[in-house]
Amino acid sequence: MISPEDERELDQTPPPDPRRWVTLAIVVIAALIVVLDNTVLTVAIPSILADFHTTLPSLQWVLTGYSLVFATLLIIGGRLGDVFGHRRMFIIGAALFGAGSLLAALSWGVPSLLVGEALIEGIGASMMLPATLAILSNTFQGRERATAFAAWGATIGLGGALGPLIGGFLTTNYSWRWAFGINVIVAPLAILGALLFIPLGARARTRLAIDVPGALLVAAGMFLLVFGLNEVGKYGWWKPLADFDVAGTTLWPKSVGVSVLPLIFLLSAAFLFAFYRYERMRERRDRDPLFEFGQLRHKGFRYGLITAGILSMGQLGLFFVIPVFLQEAEHLSALDNGLWMLPVGIFLLIGAQVGGRMTRRINTTRVVQIGIVLEVIGLVIIAFTIHPGLTLVELLPGWLTFGFGIGFANSQLTNVVLSDVDPEKSGVASGANSTARQVGSALGVAVIGATFASLTARNTIDALRATSLSDSAKQAAISGVNASGAGFRPGAKVPPDVAAKLSHALTTGITHGTRGSLLIAAGFVTFGACMSLLIPRVVVPGVDDLDLTIDHIEIVPDQPAPAPAH
């Protein structure tokens, strides 16, 4: 029963913004183009190499640079939104993103492509993505909040599945430059929509100091961490695979005997620890820290971030190894590869909406946990489904289970992470959420990528040794597999019967390598499921609390007090 005083207090709640659904559409489209930039170019590598007459190592910086800059600046971008307003940061970020895309679309070589795509777009994206989450967190309440986060989470996951399809279509039928040209069109429309429909929002109540030392420390630490994770395949975890060169100068020769990466990870840890100590000092002195570690007292925020990072490690495992299997073992084109990946995006989209509706019946944290379990089951199904000659129909059960799992988990995990964070800290909390996912993704690609390469080479060599080929042919093929891994191809002058045996051995190796990598990914997600059990029953206002009990509330009107008895 609600008393008249409580009823009047409830009546004072501001009505929902009538423009909120347009705001959601603008934010979702902006988030989509940010995520697409991570994946859309992967299938266009051969075309870019041919156009610029360059080499893969020089182009690799373009591919990894975007995620590197993006992950480095996410927390800073979120904090700037808390200080100056999230709509303002969204507009500035979209403008930078569009300008960088224009430069990349018109680029005349690797340096201009690097500046446009990796540097300018990366800075813009680091401002846009935390702002999108903060805007949703501050615009929606109750059941609608779960729906909004479901749409955002579905978009993030869908971008990973749509990227290869869109990139393959544009590269095959038009030009890889249109992968950036789309952003040049969408970014100005997002800016116009923000000016017309997204509320201005509140800036910080008092003028906050910009924590420059903290920004430099976290940027240096995150840069070194993500760089190290991205370069594991090139330099090796411990055993050195190549010299470490910067601008043509060898700073760490291979002859040292130890890879440069342990040093890079050590420096990263030192910078991040210094960032932690410095921010805690500013927090104790009430000097506006860049990241308020005191927010980690909220268990939903703390364990939600850890769970998000671990899940990203496993989720990216599938999106990394399955395209390689389809292209190298099933010999699909870039466009067909994207089409085979499309169903998981569709199931993800449906699952996100179903998960959002489930929050009306069960606790939001429980929806996340159900989703993670479905992800594990889906990964195991796919791992034991793949085989040479695989059909799309055979993949659909695994796609459905995994897609629904991501839809449930990703959308509502963000809701859980931000549910109990102080509203004025929503921007930096959103940046931390995205940073956890980016670091988890980079670590997942590094670990699972190394696992895939190792398993593929080992199983291919075992298959080669079991063939009836001559010893000289076997040894030549084994040398080729050790050098090229899954990219090994028999020479043009190899007899057809020998080429068939080599191709069969390689397909067998890739199949076993993919299966083992997916099981490793399932292990990561299982660990994430265990961590999710530490997330408390998070009460999302209007979803897990009032909205589920409103039918049992009786509103009692004001009545005059009874006359005193005589």
With residues binned 3-state (H G I as helix, E B as strand, rest as coil), the percentages for the chain, rounded to 5, are 75, 0, 20
CA 461 to chain centre: 34
Q: For position 90, what pLDDT does the model report?
A: 93
For residue 551, count CB atoms less than 10 angstroms from its CB and return exposed for 0-12, middle for 13-18, buried for 19 or more.
Answer: exposed
Q: For position 345, what pLDDT does the model report?
A: 81
d(CA 440, CA 317): 11
Fold of 19-211: Growth Hormone; Chain: A; (1.20.1250)
Q: For position 550, what pLDDT does the model report?
A: 33
- Mean pLDDT, each 10-residue run in order, the chain (566 residues): 48 66 89 80 73 72 76 81 86 94 91 90 90 83 76 75 77 84 91 88 56 85 82 80 81 88 93 91 82 81 88 79 82 79 85 83 89 94 92 93 89 78 72 77 76 84 83 79 68 74 85 91 92 79 43 37 43
Q: For position 14, what pLDDT does the model report?
A: 60
CA angle 245, 251, 253 (to 5 degrees): 85
CB 434 within 8 A of CB 133: yes
Taking only the tens place, the pLDDT of each residue in 328-341 is 888 887 678 778 88
Copy the structure tokens of residue 261.
């990466």
Average pLDDT of the chain? 80
Q: For position 341, what pLDDT does the model report?
A: 82
Q: For position 554, what pLDDT does the model report?
A: 36
Q: For position 483, what pLDDT does the model report?
A: 67
Q: For position 419, what pLDDT does the model report?
A: 76
Taking only the tens place, the pLDDT of each residue in 101-129 is 999 999 988 889 989 988 999 899 989 98
* CA 128 vs CA 220, 322, 349: distances in Å: 21, 30, 22
Q: For position 248, what pLDDT does the model report?
A: 75
Copy the structure tokens of residue 537.
């029953």
Q: For position 384, what pLDDT does the model report?
A: 93
Q: For position 491, what pLDDT does the model report?
A: 67
Look up residue 454 and give its amino acid: S
Phi and psi, residue 45, nearest 5°? -55, -50
Give me the residues paired with residue 245 across strands: 250
For residue 95, count CB atoms less than 10 angstroms from its CB and return exposed for 0-12, middle for 13-18, buried for 19 or more.
Answer: middle
Q: For position 215, what pLDDT does the model report?
A: 82
DSSP string, 483-507: HHGGG----TTS-HHHHHHHHHHHH
Q: What is residue 472's three-state secondary structure?
A: helix
